Chains A and B, each alone.
Chain A
Amino acid sequence: MESHRIIGGGGLGLSEAGPSATHHQHHHHVPTYGVLHGINTTNPSTLINEGHAFNFGELEEAIVLQGVKGRNDEGKAPLFTTAAAPPRPAATLDMFPSWPIRFHQTSRGGSKSGGESTDSALSTKTEPPFEAESPMSKKATTPSSLDHHDASRIIGPSSSSQAKSPHEKRKGAGSTSEKPLDAKTLRRLAQNREAARKSRLRKKAYVQQLESSRLKLTQLEQDLQRARSQGLFMDCGGVGGNLSSGAAMFDMEYARWLEEEQRVMGELRNGLQAPLSDGEMRGIVDGYLSHYDELFRLKAVAAKSDVFHLINGMWTSQAERCFLWIGGFRPSDLITMLIQQLEPLAEQQIMGMYGLRHSSQQAEDALSQGLDQLQQSLVDTIAGGPIVDGVQQMVVAMGKLANLEGFVRQADNLRQQTLHQLCRLLTVRQAARCFIVIGEYYGRLRALSSLWASRPRETLMSDDNNSCQTTTDLQMVQPSHHHHHHNHHHFPSF
């Protein structure tokens, strides 16, 4: 019995420890005892008796209900704990630790248990995330009808809020209001009222802050999408925050090259399907080779004006950038992929492919090591020696940087030679198939980058708090998603 009483009282105490429960978690033990004592010693009669008998049954019911619902977080928020905010969005709601437990004065006849009224009222005003934290709001039966500027609450009804029927709650609520209230109880109630009021105000402020942040975020996202779509992505590496003219021009020409690629790919595909003669196929395959030759020519021009743009890969898609090697694709990786995709091949051809890959790897290693030495030399120059001569240092460093262009040009040269050699190793039709595979492969990487850029993101605000604003993000993503569709509509094979 004693234990029951304490449970009931504990439930009472914990949730009723109004000010403390509302404000700080660590306080709620103290007033528990105070309240317990207060109840036990001063008014041992009806309040606790009825409360206890009343509470326990409904408490049990509530617990069972929670368990049945199977809601982990909320289920675990028993009435005992005033740190009622479920673990997940806990960080945001630590300010309101007494949720979902609430208690309210029963003088308002129709008033529900406080938790319900507060939570439900709040939940109508707040974002979906808040809904999650107040399990009782889910069960609220008369949510919005209540004025949430209620007077303070009492626990008895709060435990009953877990139960379904309003009738019982009313009874519970009513039972408290009908009893004579002594000074201590009055004071307690007043404190509760005050605490609840402060709590509400804090919550209001917080919600407003969140709202404004969200608006700002939406605007930022839109600006970003707009800027990206115009190809004027502001990255700090560029001159004056914009792309250099050489880089911008190359980007434009590259975009045109991509469109041309679709045309040439179409020619290849049609050529393979239609029974074209080998001679005609040869012409088409050579056309594809010239198409790539054109790209390398464009890159050579760009390397003269802005080698960093080529090296940092901003001209290419994100997924391609992932595999970037000195401003472009790595030939040996491409050959590895092709060896798999182009089966079946003649023995001699396979040997040839492996040999090509080996040669390419040797060349790649040599160029990579040369570049490493360049970087090291640059570091030594910039770091400076014992005597730092600023101008001289810069002049030397500039001279070293100029070598970068040479490396990018040699890397492109390697890529170009590899493609030509592939053509020589294969028959005409095999070469056509090979180029179709290459074109599709990079096309898929570009499509992947597109999808990745427009994926719904859940962690936009994760730095500030742990709230998940997935619904918001999905809404914001829509425009960009459409935009990407628009931009990449010419990859029909995907």
Chain B
Amino acid sequence: MQYQQSSASSSWSYYMTMRTRHHHAAEDDIAMDRVARLASESAVVIFTISTCCMCHAMKTLFCGMGVNPMIHELDLLPNGKQIERALMALLGGGGGGAVVPVVFIGGKLVGSMDRVLAFHINGSLVPLLKQAGALWL
């Protein structure tokens, strides 16, 4: 988008950016709602990208524990990009790399592979899963 130098056009450009941001904000809100909704649909929800290998590792981890997670592949969803942005916002920046995989347990955000491994090793993952009804004794 070309920004013109005159004051008139600068206010116009300001208006345009605000409008775009607002537009995005609206979309983001929608996406955020959608994320929240999807996350509560199942005990364990994982947002992935079909070609991502770390996502494959995440799936293997949960399936190996006997959990049956609900997988949402962002590259196959119509509004995948927005959801990815929403997830990035939820994770607080997300760093330079990909944001996926992102795990929700019991509707609540757990995080990426980093956090999941930490919880698993310190023994708090399994109780969390049981609490959410994803695992039974």
Contact = CB atoms under 8 A, between A and B. Distances in A.
Interface of A: 355-356, 359-360, 362-363, 365-367, 369-371, 373-374, 377, 400, 403, 406-407, 410, 413-414, 417-418, 420-421, 424
Contacts of B65: 362
Contacts of A359: 120-121, 123, 125
Most chain B Cβ neighbours within 10 Å, of A360, A362, A365, A418: A362
Interface string B59-75: 01100110000000000
B97 interface: yes
Contacts of A366: 57-58, 60-61, 64
- Category for how many chain B residues contact A: 20 to 34
Given A374-B53, A407-B53, 6 more contacts: A360-B121, A362-B64, A403-B53, A406-B113, A410-B57, A421-B123
Contacts of B120: 359, 362-363
Contacts of B57: 366-367, 369-371, 373, 407, 410
A417 B117 contact: yes
Interface in B29-53: 51-53
B118 interface: yes
Interface residues of B: mostly helix, strand, loop or mixed? helix
A418 B123 CA distance: 11
Interface in B78-120: 97, 113-114, 117-118, 120
Contacts of A421: 121-123
A206 to B, nearest CB: 57
A369 B60 contact: yes
A458 B53 CA distance: 46
A410 B121 contact: no
10 nearest A-B pairs in the assembled complex, by CB-CB distance: A370-B57, A366-B61, A417-B121, A374-B53, A366-B60, A366-B57, A369-B60, A373-B56, A373-B53, A370-B53
Nearest to B118: A417
A424 B122 contact: yes
> A-side binding surface: helix, strand, loop or mixed?
helix
B121 A363 contact: yes
A418 B122 CA distance: 8
B54 interface: yes
Contacts of A363: 61, 117, 120-121
Contacts of A371: 53, 57
B111 to A, nearest CB: 12
Given A365-B60, A366-B57, A370-B57, A413 B123 contact: no
Contacts of B56: 369-370, 373
Nearest to B63: A366
A29 B109 CA distance: 91
A424 B121 CA distance: 11
A410 B115 CA distance: 10
A410 B113 contact: yes
B97 A410 contact: no
A410 B118 CA distance: 10
Given A370-B56, A370-B57, A413-B114, A377 B64 contact: no
Nearest to A366: B61
Nearest to B55: A370
Contacts of A413: 114, 117-118
A360 B120 CA distance: 8
B122 A407 contact: no
22 contacts: A356-B121, A359-B121, A359-B123, A360-B121, A363-B61, A363-B117, A363-B120, A366-B57, A366-B64, A369-B56, A369-B60, A370-B56, A373-B53, A403-B52, A403-B54, A410-B114, A414-B121, A417-B117, A417-B118, A417-B121, A421-B122, A424-B122
Contact of B123 (A355, A374, A377, A403): A355
A355 B52 CA distance: 29
A407 B120 CA distance: 17
Nearest to A365: B64
B60 A370 contact: yes
Contacts of B64: 362, 365-366
B51 A377 contact: yes
B122 A417 contact: yes
B112 to A, nearest CB: 9
Given A355-B123, A363-B61, A365-B64, A410 B53 contact: no
